[in-house]
Chains A and B, each alone.
Chain A
Amino acid sequence: MASLAASSISLQPRHALATSRVSGLKLVSFTNQGRNSLSFGLRPMPARVRISCAAKPETVDKVCEIVRKQLAVPSDKPVTGESKFAELGADSLDTVEIVMGLEEEFGITVEEDNAQNIATVLDAAELIDKLCSGKSA
């Protein structure tokens, strides 16, 4: 994986950050030809890795918007990834409606069992990301 990463950066020599690192990574990749240790290649890469949690932030934001609209949450109450639907005053019927709204917004179809297990905003966002990537892949 480290050698693949090095080759992807070398394809974009215009990127200022990459050029200074390309030389470093090229050296490393040559020395790693024999071995499979990935620890060298991964260290200079942090700028590229944006997704740290399991769900993309824009998905979480969209889900929060839909939940806020559906449950008529007053604007002073924060709706974050960690908010549970039950805390925001939703019962199981509201959860069904929220899942339907999410299906329409993202153009996905959520299965029965998956829909039963959604309890927080983050759960919903992760499920959506998984289904969207499964659809496009």
Chain B
Amino acid sequence: MAASGVSAPTRTEVLHLYRSLLRVARQFCDYNIREYTKRRTVDAIRDNKNLTDPSQLAAAFFDGKAQLEVAKRQALVYSLYAPKVKSIMDIIPS
């Protein structure tokens, strides 16, 4: 593969991506999808925590950004058809 010249993301960019993914996760109305998104981002980011090779870092970061786009779109679409009945896990006992 030719060197694409894509530079590795900086620490701040990665943290910003992490924060954005977690924020998007909060927007889902469905409890299950929300929890899954949170779990998956935590796991994925931690798995890639120790990468040092710049091309691997760039690939993982690009992957993360693509997933962020997907998540944003899906959060919007899900909210259009949100069920009226909330999941039992979302109901706070009063």
**A positions within 8 Å CB-CB of B:** 91-93, 96-97, 99-100, 104, 112, 115-116
Contact = CB atoms under 8 A, between A and B. Distances in A.
B84 interface: no
Interface of B: 11-12, 15-16, 18-19, 22-23, 26, 42, 45-46, 49
Contacts of B15: 92-93, 96, 116
Chain A residues touching B, majority SS:
helix
A100 B22 contact: yes
Contacts, number: 24
A93 B46 contact: yes
Given A104-B26, A115-B19, A97 B42 contact: yes
B12 A116 contact: yes
24 contacts: A91-B49, A92-B11, A92-B15, A93-B15, A93-B18, A93-B45, A93-B46, A93-B49, A96-B15, A96-B18, A96-B19, A96-B22, A97-B22, A97-B42, A99-B19, A100-B19, A100-B22, A100-B23, A104-B26, A112-B16, A112-B19, A115-B19, A116-B12, A116-B15
